[in-house]
């Protein structure tokens, strides 16, 4: 039965697949953003306390998510396309992976003390988590887009290099 003839108003299988599809670009971007927050927050003796770093990660993710939603909705308005609340919710849901990408690094910060990791070590752990998930999301996104294994590996390597730039900046800044 096609979605146009479905009497229940339920979305078709294709619509459901589209609505739950992961925004890999947003996940990669959010992971890179989380890594940047951790790298610039410090982690040495003068670094931010754990709770403050967790809040910074999550708030930064939410703020950038809201900025992406606003930019897309405002861009549609500029080109003359009216924006309704359904479209706003769709865009917000599509971009939510930016916020989700901040969660694992925040969890790494939260659980660091359970493993006896000091603040500096916890910051490095969170940074490693952010870079690892960035590489994983980029590689998975390439695979899901139909890229060859070689191209998917290239995506992973390119994102690893981006992450390593942040790692190097953190190391050079002495954080």
At 166, list the tokens.
Answer: 């942040």
Q: What is the largest CA-CA distance in the chain?
A: 64
Averaged confidence pLDDT in the chain = 84
Given a cut of 50, whether residue 154 has pLDDT beyond it is yes
Burial label, 153 (beta-carbon count in 10 A; 0-12, 13-18, 19+) = middle
- What mean pLDDT is predicted for residues 41-63? 82
pTM of the model: 0.80
Q: Which of 120, 116, 117 is nearest to 41 (CA)?
A: 120
- What mean pLDDT is predicted for residues 167-174? 88
CB 144 within 8 A of CB 166: no
Given a cut of 60, whether residue 95 has pLDDT beyond it is yes
Given a cut of 90, whether residue 63 has pLDDT beyond it is yes
The pLDDT of residue 77 is: 75
User: What are the distances in angstroms from CA 15 to CA 12, 38, 73, 75, 86?
Assistant: 5, 37, 21, 24, 14
The pLDDT of residue 47 is: 58
The pLDDT of residue 83 is: 76
User: Angle at which helices 24-41 and 119-144 pack, to 10 degrees?
Assistant: 160
């Amino acid at each position: 039965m096609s979605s146009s003839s479905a009497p229940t108003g339920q979305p078709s299988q294709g619509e459901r697949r589209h609505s739950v599809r992961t925004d890999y670009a947003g996940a990669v971007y959010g992971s890179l953003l989380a890594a940047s927050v951790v790298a610039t927050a410090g982690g040495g003796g003068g670094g931010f306390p754990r709770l403050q770093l967790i809040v910074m990660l999550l708030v930064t993710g939410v703020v950038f998510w809201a900025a992406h939603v606003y930019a897309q909705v405002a861009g549609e308005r500029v080109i003359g396309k009216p924006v309704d609340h359904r479209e706003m919710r769709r865009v917000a849901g599509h971009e939510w992976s930016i916020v989700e990408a901040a969660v694992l690094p925040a969890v790494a910060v939260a659980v660091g003390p359970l493993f006896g990791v000091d603040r500096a070590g916890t910051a490095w752990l969170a940074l490693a988590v952010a870079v690892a998930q960035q590489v994983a999301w980029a590689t998975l996104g390439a695979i899901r887009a139909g890229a060859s294994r070689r191209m998917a590996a290239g995506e992973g390597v390119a994102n690893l290099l981006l992450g390593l730039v942040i790692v190097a900046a953190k190391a050079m800044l002495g954080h």
